[in-house]
Amino acid sequence: MSGLAWLEALGPQRIRPGLRRTRALLDALGSPDRSFRPVLVGGTNGKGSTAAALSAILSHAGVRTGLYTSPHLVRVTERIRLGDADVSEALLDDALALVAAASGPGERGPTYFEALTVAALELFRRARVEVALIEVGIGGRLDATNVVEPDLSVLTNVGADHLEILGPSLADVAREKAGIFRGGLPALVGTEGTAPDAKAVLHAEAARLGVRLLEVPPSDRWSGVFPLPGAHQRQNVALAVAAARALAPLDDAAIAAGLARTRWRGRLERVTRRGRRTLILDGAHNADGAEALGRWLDAEGLSGRVDLLFGVLSDKDLPGIAGPLCARARRIVLTAPPSPRAIPPDALKERLGAAAAETASSPEAALARLEAQGPGAAPVLVAGSLYLVGEVIRLLEGESG
């Protein structure tokens, strides 16, 4: 069995918090995580954008950089970048085969996310990466990525997501996310998007651990060069710039040139196609993300002028996600993202109490129905789940292929 086939057999939906399995695998491979300077990037929203921006800055400045993020939208190779490029299937398959050989059977073996984390760190070692930017999966304290000893920790914000694992309160979530802090080392925290009680927990944890905590406010300084739209990106880019300056001696010109190269799909991504409707793809999958998307629609004059293609997973805050988006849509088509945790369209319609909403058996069917209005119609907003956004991107690639 190939490494990639072994990975798929693990099943991507399993979550088993804890560091023991990941640490044991890394030790068996000779501790690849100790061959570079790690940076952990956590938070409820924006951590992927922040990590991608930081990667673009450092890579353009000549720092050998690795980037590990999750989830992927279309291909698993998207999760690991070496410099500006996604890792090849061949390289990832080889690293995963090594992880598989070192793994134990059954419950002793890693989860999908743990296996990929170990493979990413091994690939970073092979590529002689100098700085590895590692996006936390869920929480922080017991997330597999927290096996590394970061030179720097970055926390974008603390919001209400994954409460069934990290909660029940925001203070609990903050405590879990503060688990990526390390005593005597710096941590950067965004000033936006975190309630006062959660922020107080972050400061208390930093004081307990002896962490040098620096709050970073949002900045308009880079809005002319940063390609990702939305006012909420001001916080993410400010954190990326602060982290880059903590890691390397960079001037404004180098930072601007790097930021301009940031690549991060499915975040307010506008897709125009000849003879087809314009699509706006956004991975908003929690209440804070949906509110940010709603504010962007207002600012762009698109409220009430978009058709919404919407799907969501069963463990998400449905009212918090759907409310800001459905209120701004003129037409709503509900479907199921490609995940066993997805809410079926009919059940989604019933739970929303949206009598006027339509349902479609698949994202492909929903998109075809919306396309029937013709290219001059209002944009189609695809939101509610990164899995849904990824499936629509896959369909678009099939069109262009």
Q: Which tens digits make up the pLDDT trace of 63-106?
A: 999 999 999 999 999 999 999 999 999 999 999 999 999 998 77
pLDDT digits (tens, 9 = 90+) for 352-387: 998 889 999 999 999 999 988 888 789 999 999 999
Q: What phi-psi label fits residue 43: left (phi over 0), alpha (psi between -120 and 50 degrees) or beta?
A: left
Q: Is residue 123 within 8 Å of 115, Cβ to Cβ?
A: no
Q: Which residues of the chain have pLDDT under 70?
A: 13, 107, 400-401
Pick the CATH number of 269-400 from 3.30.420.40, 3.40.50.300, 3.90.190.20, 2.40.33.10: 3.90.190.20
- What is the structure's pLDDT at 17? 87
Q: So what's the pLDDT on residue 1?
A: 84
Query: Cα(97)–Cα(81) distance, rounded to whole angstroms?
Result: 19
CB atoms under 10 Å from CB of 65, counted, come to 27
Strands 306-310 and 380-383, by their bridges, are: parallel
Per-residue b/e over 244-259, b at no fewer than 16 CB within 10 Å? beebbebeeebbbebb
| CATH for the stretch 3-259 | 3.40.1190.10
Q: Which of 52, 201, 67, 61 is nearest to 123 (CA)?
A: 67
Q: Which amino acid does the sequence have at 83? A: G
- For the stretch 352-366, what's the b/e string if a residue is b when 16 or more beta carbons lie within 10 angstroms of its beta carbon? bebeebbbbeebeeb
Tell me the pTM: 0.95
Domain ranges of the chain: 3-259, 269-400
> So what's the pLDDT on residue 377?
83
> 358: left (phi > 0), else alpha (psi -120 to 50), else beta?
beta
Burial class of residue 69 in the structure, from the number of CB atoms within 10 Å of its CB (0-12 exposed, 13-18 middle, 19+ buried)? buried
Give the type of residue at 307. Answer: D
